[in-house]
Amino acid sequence: MASSLSGYDLHTHSIHSDGTTTPGEIVREAAALGLAGIALTDHDTVTGWPEARAAAAEAGIAFLPGVEITTRYGHRSTHLLAYGVDVSRGRLADELRAVREARHSRAREMVARLAADYDIAWETVVAEGDDRTVGRPHIADALVTAGYYADRSTVFAEILHPRSPYYVPTYATDTAEAIELVRDAGGVAVLAHPAAARQSGPVTDAALEDLADAGLWGVELEHPENRDDWLTGLRAIVRRRGLVVTGASDFHGAGKPNRLGERTTDAATVARIRECVAIPE
């Protein structure tokens, strides 16, 4: 039976970062579900865009180029979704490269720490020539494959959380600076999952006001991991500051329980994004 889903899923991850499916597979699944289009937003890389764009053209759905930038506001990990950026403009490409290199070095150090207690080696996490944006999910996958844990979520909950002795912090771009880089690259910046239950609390009202002042364009209020009771204050600021509300699944294939299309953005909002960005198609 055909799915009755509609709209655009503007937050998805492929094997180019920490997803488990290819960009083409994501597009084909979206088309089969009845979605109007997707954005591919791999962590700190745009290498999946060509495959996703070609697959979308073949499947007859829309493709919006995106990237999820690893950023930090104060001491809080605060990821930023960028849509329609032209990475040949400004300093964005250089910053994405710096973040990827930092994540790679951090992952190596975490594997070295884990190797004292687990039969795990760097070569079991990253194969030679692997150009993915490497992070904790890939370490978790190696531990699952080795039979230590059942799934990624369990690994994160038990040994890869920030309080773990195996955990190593990583460099992240200042969120306000990242917004400027996105704007300089002709894109729009949307704050990702600002009230995710895995955090100790929502993005503060003061932080959201500060990021709005810095040129934030929208906020991903419709996300399966957002806590409804944490959204009330954020919704009020979004309305008052005229920020755009987006929705998305944060799909990672088998890497997360999030289902493709379980949260979406409507066509009118996607049209507004395309009107603003440097790469309309």
Q: Which of 82, 62, 279 has the alpha carbon at shortest distance from 190?
A: 82
pLDDT band at 257 (very low <50, low <70, confident <90, very high): very high
Q: How far apart are CA 36 and CA 163, in angstroms?
A: 41
3-state SS, residue 123 = helix
DSSP of 168-221: -----EEHHHHHHHHHHTT-EEEE--TTBTTSSSPPPHHHHHHHHHTT--EEEE
Decide: 241 and 209 in contact? Cβ < 8 Å: yes
Q: Encode pLDDT of 215-249 as tens digits.
A: 999 999 999 999 999 999 999 999 999 999 999 99
- Indicate the domain borders of the chain: 105-158
Q: Classify 105-158 by CATH class.
A: mainly alpha
Q: Are strands 218-222 and 188-191 parallel, antiparallel or unpaired?
A: parallel
Q: Does 1 score more than 50 pLDDT?
A: no
Q: Does 24 score more than 80 pLDDT?
A: yes
- The first and second tokens of residue 181, run together, are 């880089």
β-bridge partners, 8: 37, 265
The whole-number pLDDT of residue 54 equals: 98
